Amino acid sequence: MSNTFLQTPVEYLKGVGPQRAETLQKEMGIFTFGELLTLYPFRYEDRTKFHNIKDITPELYTVQLRGKFVGLKMIGEKRAKRLSAIFRDATGDIELVWFQGIKWITGKFKTDREYIVYGKPQMYNGKWNIAHPEVEEVTEANTRLANPLQPVYPSTEKMKGKFLDSKGIARIIKPLAILIQGKIPEILPEALISRMKMMNREQALYQIHFPSSAESLQRAQFRLKFEELFFLQLRLLKTKAFRQEQFKGFVFSTVGDRFNEFYKNYLPFPLTNAQKRVIKEIRHDTGSGKQMNRLLQGDVGSGKTLVALMTMLIALDNGFQAGMMAPTEILANQHYQTISAMLDGMNLKVGLLTGSVKTAQRRELHRMLESGEMDILIGTHALIEEGVKFKNLGMVVIDEQHRFGVEQRAKLWSKNTQPPHVLVMTATPIPRTLAMTLYGDLDVSVIDEMPPGRKSIKTMHKFDSHRLEVFGFMKEQIKLGRQIYIVYPLIKESEKMDYKDLEDGYESICRAFPLPEYKVSIVHGQMKTEAKDFEMQRFVKGETNIMVATTVIEVGVNVPNASVMVIESAERFGLSQLHQLRGRVGRGADQSYCILLSSYKLSSDAKLRMSTMVKTNDGFEIADTDLRLRGPGDISGTQQSGLLNLKIADLAQDAQILQYARNAAGEILNEDVHLEKPEHQLMKQHLTEVEKFQANWSRIS
C-alpha cells in the first residue's frame, strides 16, 4: 500500500537516477520518495519579477536578473582557477563566477541568447558578483510562469554540482508531487481534520511545494506543522500514560520526623511562597501512587537546592533513600557541602560519589548504599554506573537537567524494580514551547519568585578599550570586601587558542592586581580535580579576591560574597549562557554587577544579545529571545535533540499550533490510550514509524 510507495528509493524517480540519488543521500539524508517529499522549501520567492543590475543593494538576499552574456574567461591558476562571466542587462554589468563545474559551463552559454540568472549577490573588491548562480535560458515556458510563489529549497555545493540547486530540486519534486495524488492516506483522524478545518495530507504535501495561492500555502503549512507537532506530542504523552500505567509510584504517605525536624530547627530562612507551592506539588505527586516525573524550573538563585533537600527528606521519612545527581564534580561537591551543612546536627548519613572517589572508599559507599545505612547520596554520573545499588531508592533529584539525556534518566529507573520518583531541576528557564517538547512527558513546576532582599544585578556592556576603567571598578569593589569572577569563553573548536587567551588573561590580571594586595585564583577544565577543588575552595573561603575561570563555573556554583561577574569576549557566548554566568553573582545582600566586555565590532545578533542582557534580568524573557536567535537545537544542548529535529514546525513561532497539537493528542489518548479504535489505526501506524525513525536517529547521534 501507500507506505511502500513512499518508501520507494528516490533513485527510481524520474530525473534522479543512481548518481543523484547518492548525492541526495549523502548531502541531505534523503533515501526515499517520502523523505524527498518532506524536503520542504524554506522560502518562497516571487520569480515573476526581475531586478535591474544597477539597483542591486546589500538588502537583497537574492536577485533575479534577465540579460545576456558578453564575455566568459578563465582567471587564476590550478586550484584557484575560476570561470568569470560578464552578464549584462539594460542597466549595467555584473560578474558571475564559478569555481566548480567549469568545464561543463564553458560550452553552455551563448552570447546571442537571453538568460535568466538567479543567485545571491556579494560584494567583492567593491563590485557585485554572484557565485554559482542558477542560469536558465529564457523560453516561452519560463516567461509565462505566472505564479509568484516559487519554492526555494536548501542545497549544497555538491548538490549544485549535480544540478540539484533549488530549481533542480523543484524539477524532481514536481513529478513526485503529482505522482502521489491518490496514494497518500490521511493519518490524522477524520474528526480532528474536520474540527480543525485542516487541509488533507495529500493536498498539503502538494501545496507546500507548489502553492496555488498564499492562502493555500498557509493552510498547507498549518496542516504539516500541526501533524509534525501532533505526533511528537502523541509520543510524549503516550510515554507518560504508559509509564503511569506500568509503574506504580512509591507512596509517600507521611511527612514525618526528618522533614518536620528540619523545618522547625534547621531551616535557615523562611521559604518563599513559590518554594512552598512547589513542595506542595511534589507532596501531592509522591502521595498519589503514581510515579512522579516533575520538571522544576526556576531561575538561577531562586532556591531550588532547598526544595530538593526537603523533597529528599520526605523520601527518608517514608523509609526510602534519596539520590541527587549533578552534571559536574564541582557542583556535586558543592551540593554535598551545602546539604551536609544544612543537615548538620540531624542524625543522617549523606555521601558523595564522583569519578574521583578512590576504590576503597567507593566500596564502602556501595556497601552503605546496599545495606541502607546511607540516607542521601549526592554525586555525578557516577551515581548511575553499573555497580551502584541502593537498598531502596525512592527519590532522585537531577540538577541542571539540560546536561542529562532521556536515556540517562531511564537508566536511573533501572536502579530499582520499581522506579523512584524523579525531580528534574533546571536553572535555564526554557520557553514554554521548548519545555512542552523536550520535557513533554514531565509535569512542570515553576519557582517564579526570588528569595527576599535580593537586589537586582546591574549589567553593563563595555568595549575592550575600556578595560582599565573596568579594572578600576573592580579594585573599588575589592576594597569593599567583595569578590570577583572573570570568565573566558571556551569553545571546543578553538580550544587551544582559548586556553591561550585564558592564560594571557590570567597573567595580565595578575599584573594589574599584584600580590600581596590582591590574590587571584584560576580554574579551568584542564586542571586536575584536586587542583581545581583547591582553587575553588580558596575562593569560596574568601582567601582570593578574583577567580579567573572558564565556563566550568557556569552552573550552580554559589559564593554569596562574589558580587561582580566580568565576562570576557561576551559576544562569543549565547544568551542563556550569559544569563547563567550572571546568576553566579547577586546571591548575597550586596549590590551585584555583571560587566560584559566585547570587541567593538559586533554582529547584529551579538548586539541584540548584549542589549537584552543589559535590559533584563528575567530568565524567561531571555530564553525567549535566545530561542528566536538560535533555534531550539542549540539551546537545549542535549542529546535529546532528536526530539527537536523538526522539519517544518518552528518552536519559536508555532507556540499556538503546538498547544493545539498537544491538546488534540491528549484528548485522543484520554479516550483511547492504546489507540485501538479503528479510526486511530493509520495514526497508530504512523506513530510507530516516527518512533522507529527517532530511535534510530538517537542511536546515531
- Minimum CB separation of residue 454 from ligand ADP in Å reads 8
User: Which of 133-141, 277-285, 388-396, 552-560 is the region at the interface with Mg ion (rule: CB under 5 A)?
Assistant: 552-560
655-671 and 214-246 helices, crossing angle to 10° = 50
CB of 400 to Mg ion, least distance (A): 7
Q: Which is nearer to ligand ADP, 150 or 305 (CB)?
A: 305
Smallest gap from residue 402 Cβ to Mg ion (A): 13
- The answer to whether 51 and 181 have CB atoms below 8 angstroms apart is no
Among the listed residues 316, 551, 299, the one whose alpha carbon sits nearest the alpha carbon of residue 425: 299
By beta-carbon proximity to ligand ADP, the closer residue of 58 and 453 is 453
| Residue number with CB closer to ligand ADP (275 or 291) | 275
Which residue in 301, 357, 367 sits closest to 333, CA to CA?
Answer: 357
In angstroms and rounded to an integer, the radius of gyration of the C-alpha atoms of the chain is: 30
Task: Give the range of 49-57, 480-488, 553-561, 585-593 binding Mg ion by CB under 5 A.
Answer: 553-561
Task: Give the nearest distance from C-beta 305 to ligand ADP in angstroms.
Answer: 3
Letters for 455-494 (x = contact with ligand ADP by CB under 6 A, - = none) are ----------------------------------------
269 binding ligand ADP? (CB under 6 A): yes
Quote the strand ranges of 125-270, DSSP E.
Answer: 127-131, 134-137, 150-152
* Residue 522, binding choice from ligand ADP, Mg ion, none, Cβ under 5 to 8 Å by partner class: none
**Is the CB of residue 325 less than 8 Å from the CB of residue 404?**
yes
Nearer to ligand ADP, 187 or 274 (CB): 274
**What CA–CA distance (Å, rounded) separates 31 from 11?**
8
- Secondary structure string (H, E, C) spanning 408-471: HHHHHHCCCCCCCEEEEEECCCCCHHHHHHHCCCCEEEEECCCCCCCCCCEEEEEEHHHHHHHH
Strands 127-131 and 121-124: antiparallel
The site partner of 173 among ligand ADP, Mg ion, none (C-beta below 5 to 8 Å per kind) is none
The residue assigned the cell 541584540 is 608
> Any contact of residue 556 with Mg ion (CB under 5 A)?
yes
Q: Cβ of residue 300: shortest distance to ligand ADP, in angstroms?
A: 4
Among 560, 631, 633, 666, binds ligand ADP (CB under 6 A): 560
Q: Which is nearer to ligand ADP, 278 or 365 (CB)?
A: 278
How far is the CA of 389 from the CAs of 307, 324, 369, 370, 421, in angstroms? 25, 14, 7, 6, 16
Around Cβ 576, how many Cβ atoms within 10 Å? Answer: 25
Distance between CA atoms of residues 38 and 34, nearest Å: 7
Q: Is 677 in contact with 256 (CB distance < 8 Å)?
A: no
Judged by beta carbon, residue 159 or residue 395, the one nearer ligand ADP is: 395
Residue 636 binds which entry of Mg ion, ligand ADP, none, CB below 5-8 Å type-dependent: none
Q: Are 195 and 32 in contact (CB under 8 A)?
A: no
Helix H, strand E, coil C: the string for 565-609 is EEECCHHHCCHHHHHHHHCCCCCCCCCCEEEEEECCCCCHHHHHH
CA–CA distance, 526 with 490 (Å, rounded to integer): 11
Stretch of residues binding ligand ADP (CB under 6 A), selected from 56-64, 226-234, 265-273, 528-536: 265-273
Q: How far apart are CA 187 and CA 189, in angstroms?
A: 6
What φ, ψ does residue 66 adopt, rounded to 5°? -130, 125
**DSSP string across 491-528:** -GGGHHHHHHHHHHHHHHHHHHS-TTT--EEEE-TTS-
- Strands 43-45 and 134-137, how do they pair? unpaired
Q: How far is the CB of 43 from ligand ADP (least distance, A)?
A: 41
419 counts as binding Mg ion under rule CB under 5 A = no
Nearest approach, Cβ of 324 to Mg ion (angstroms)?
Answer: 11
Residue entry with cell 530511535: 695
| Shortest CB 353 distance to Mg ion, Å | 19
Helix (H, G, I), strand (E, B) or coil at 399: strand
Nearest distance from C-beta of residue 384 to ligand ADP, angstroms? 21
CA neighbor of 631 nearest in space, from 621, 646, 619:
646
The identity of residue 283, as a single letter, is R
Q: Which three cell numbers stand for residue 36?
A: 524527498
Minimum distance between the CB of residue 558 and Mg ion, rounded to whole angstroms?
7
Classified as helix, coil or strand, 311 is helix
CB-CB neighbours of 650 under 10 Å = 16
Q: How far is the CB of 639 from Mg ion (least distance, A)?
A: 21
Q: 445 is in the binding site of which of ligand ADP, Mg ion, none (Cβ under 5 to 8 A by kind)? A: none
Closer by beta carbon to Mg ion, 155 or else 592: 592
At its nearest, how many Å lie between Mg ion and the CB of residue 28?
A: 41
Q: Is 298 in the site for Mg ion (CB under 5 A)?
A: no
For Mg ion, give the closer residue by CB, 189 or 301.
301
Instruction: Report the distance separating Cα 336 and Cα 159, nearest Å.
Output: 54
CB under 5 to 8 A by kind: which of ligand ADP, Mg ion, none does 303 bind?
ligand ADP
Among 166, 233, 272, 592, binds ligand ADP (CB under 6 A): 272
Find the residue with minimal CB distance to ligand ADP.
303
Helix 329-343 vs helix 529-540: angle between axes, to the nearest 10 degrees? 50
Question: Maximum CA pair distance of the chain?
Answer: 94
Binding mask 286-315 for ligand ADP (x = CB under 6 A): ------------x-xxxxxxx---------
Q: Pick from Mg ion, ligand ADP, none: which does 13 bind, CB < 5 to 8 A by kind? A: none
Q: How far is the CB of 325 from ligand ADP (least distance, A)?
A: 14
CA–CA dist 267, 381 (Å, integer): 29
| Residue 561 in contact with ligand ADP, rule: CB under 6 A | no
Is 271 a binding residue for ligand ADP by CB under 6 A? The answer is yes
Size of the site for ligand ADP (CB under 6 A): 17
Residue 416: alpha-carbon gap to chain centroid: 31
Q: By CB under 6 A, tell whether 275 contacts ligand ADP.
A: yes
Would you say 207 or 302 has its CB closer to ligand ADP? Answer: 302
User: Shortest approach of Mg ion to residue 422 CB, angstroms?
Assistant: 17
Region from 27-35, 128-136, 268-276, 387-395 binding ligand ADP, contact rule CB under 6 A: 268-276
394 vs 556 by CB, closer to Mg ion: 556
Q: Which amino acid is at 225?
A: K
Question: Is 273 in contact with 302 (CB distance < 8 Å)?
Answer: no
CA quadruple 470, 476, 477, 482: dihedral positive or negative?
A: positive
How many residues bind Mg ion, per CB under 5 A?
1
Our CB check for Mg ion shows the closer of 447 and 567 to be 447
429 binds, among Mg ion, ligand ADP, none (CB under 5 to 8 A by kind): none
C-beta of 208 vs 447, nearer to ligand ADP = 447
Q: Name the residue nearer to ligand ADP (CB basis): 273 or 361.
A: 273
Stretch in the footprint of ligand ADP (CB under 6 A) among 119-127, 177-185, 270-278, 498-506: 270-278
Q: Which does 269 bind (CB under 5 to 8 A by kind): ligand ADP, Mg ion, none?
A: ligand ADP
Query: Which one of residues 21, 164, 180, 427 is an interface residue with ligand ADP (CB under 6 A)?
Result: 427
In the list ligand ADP, Mg ion, none, the entry touching 300 (Cβ below 5 to 8 angstroms by class) is: ligand ADP
Give the binding site for Mg ion (CB under 5 A).
556
Give the binding site for ligand ADP (CB under 6 A).
269, 271-272, 275, 298, 300-306, 427, 451, 558, 560, 587
